Amino acid sequence: MMPNLKEPSLHVWQQVVQSALLEDRSEYDITTQSTVLREQIGTGVLRFKQSGTLAGITAAETAFTYLDPSTSMSEVLPDGTQVESGGTIAIVSGKLQAILSAERVALNLLQQLSGIATLTTEMVSLLEQYPNVGIVDTRKTTPGLRSLERYAVRCGGGSNHRDNLQDGVLIKDNHIAAAQKRGIGIIHLISDVRKQIPHTLRIEIEADTPELAHEAALAGADIVMLDNMTPDTMKKIVRRARELQQTEHVMFEASGGITNATIEAVAAAGVDLISVGALTHSAPAIDIALDISIN
């Protein structure tokens, strides 16, 4: 089943691709311009060299057509498609100069975004027996590429955490310490914050101890992030909170160093969300090739 995707606007794709092409000086590709004639035509087959989840096909198309609008892409697979090793994802045709000069940028973005989507797919598949547990990304994204990387997470079947610092309140240890210096505890801190934000925003507290987690839940936090805790510790916290009727509204999010090897145990602890920074900051790129034939 294909994930329900909301693709970034074409303007966003163009902005990122144009910046990358400028960085690579693609319009001044001295090697290609001195070895390939302007009128030479070529066809390139984009294919996966390993199994994975496709994300970012629009980046490739934008790169090729930016250098030459007459370039065309056909047989394009949609993002979110599970592709086997050797599978063709698109065919690009047009002037050989444009194809060769845009190749690296197109592949770089495709490989990175497909890598993120693939890692997300792997983690989501590990939680098939926990349908009520969501996997979300974090703000640990490549500067300037956040919207594309978060889109890749959705291509892999995951969801997104807050997009930026304005999207939600996430009170961490340093925020708590600053408030405590002023003599303000968790209960009053949450109360003060609620007076300053729209009622539509939720308040999340990061807790690195069971005591702080319980205090935050009782104080009225909407979400309690259980940070760098063992699955057993998280299970005890969630169980205790569920036993208290006044904390039924609280969602629990697990975070911190979660991998494919540990994610099932974390889900079994009873949390509602699992946030994984590695989805965007450590996903290995998918190996993708562009095989070119010259007409």
User: Considering the domain boundaries, does residue 62 fall inside one?
Assistant: yes
Predicted pLDDT at 120: 98
User: Which residue out of 7, 68, 104, 208 is catalytically annotated?
Assistant: 104
Domain with 185 in it = 126-281
3-state helix, strand, coil in the chain (%, to 5): 45, 20, 35
Work out how many domains the chain is built from and give that number.
2
In a domain, 120, yes or no: no
Question: pLDDT per residue over 5-45, tens digit each?
Answer: 789 999 999 999 999 999 999 999 999 999 999 999 999 99
> Do 22 and 111 fall into the same domain?
yes
Catalytic residue among 24, 140, 162, 202: 140
Gap between the Cα atoms of 205 and 239, Å rounded: 18
Identify residue 247 by its one-letter amino acid code.
T
Q: Say how many C-beta atoms besides its own lie within 10 A of residue 125's C-beta.
A: 11
Q: Of 103, 137, 206, 253, which one is the catalytic site residue?
A: 206
Res 3: pLDDT: 57
Q: Is the dihedral of CA 144, 149, 154, 160 positive or negative?
A: negative
- 89 and 167 belong to one structural domain: no
149 noted as active-site residue: no
Residue of 24, 68, 172, 287 marked active site: 172
Q: Is residue 107 part of a domain?
A: yes
Residue 2 lies in a domain: no
Strand bridging mode 223-227 / 251-255: parallel
**Residue 95 annotated as catalytic:** no
Q: Do 91 and 157 share a domain, yes or no?
A: no
Catalytic residue status for 227: yes
Specify whether 39 is catalytic: no
Residues 102, 142, single domain; the answer is no
Q: Yes or no: say if 120 and 128 are a contact pair by the CB < 8 Å rule.
A: no
* Domain at 246, CATH number: 3.20.20.70
Same domain, 71 and 158: no
In a domain, 20, yes or no: yes
Based on the fold, state whether residues 266 and 142 are members of the same structural domain: yes
Asked whether residue 152 falls in the same domain as residue 245, the answer is yes
Exposure on the CB side of residue 24, measured as CA atoms within 13 A: 21
Question: Are 157 and 290 contained in the same domain?
Answer: no
The verdict on residue 192 lying in a domain is: yes
Of 103, 149, 227, 253, the active-site residue reads: 227
Whether 179 contacts 228, CB under 8 Å = no
Residue 121, domain member (yes or no) = no
Whole-number Å distance between alpha carbons of 90 and 86: 12
CATH number at residue 16: 3.90.1170.20
Pair (259, 211) in one structural domain: yes
- Answer yes or no: do 200 and 277 share one domain: yes
- Could you tell me if residue 250 is inside a domain? yes
User: What pLDDT score was predicted for residue 5?
Assistant: 79
Q: What confidence score (pLDDT) does residue 6 get?
A: 87
CA dist., res. 83 & res. 139, Å (int) = 28
Residue 76 shares a structural domain with residue 197: no
Question: pTM for the whole thing?
Answer: 0.94
- Could you list the pLDDT tens digit for every one of the 295 residues in the chain? 455 678 999 999 999 999 999 999 999 999 999 999 999 999 999 999 999 999 999 999 999 999 999 999 999 999 999 999 999 999 999 999 999 999 999 999 999 999 999 999 999 999 999 999 999 999 999 999 999 999 999 999 999 999 999 999 999 999 999 999 999 999 999 999 999 999 999 999 999 999 999 999 999 999 999 999 999 999 999 999 988 766 778 999 999 999 999 999 999 999 999 999 999 999 999 999 999 999 8
Q: Are residues 63 and 176 in the same domain?
A: no
Q: How far apart are CA 56 and CA 58, in angstroms?
A: 5
Is 139 among the residues known to form the active site?
Answer: no
Residue 249's CB is within 10 A of a number of other CB atoms, namely 11
Q: Could you report the per-residue pLDDT of 258-285, keeping only the tens digit for each?
A: 999 999 999 999 999 999 999 999 999 9
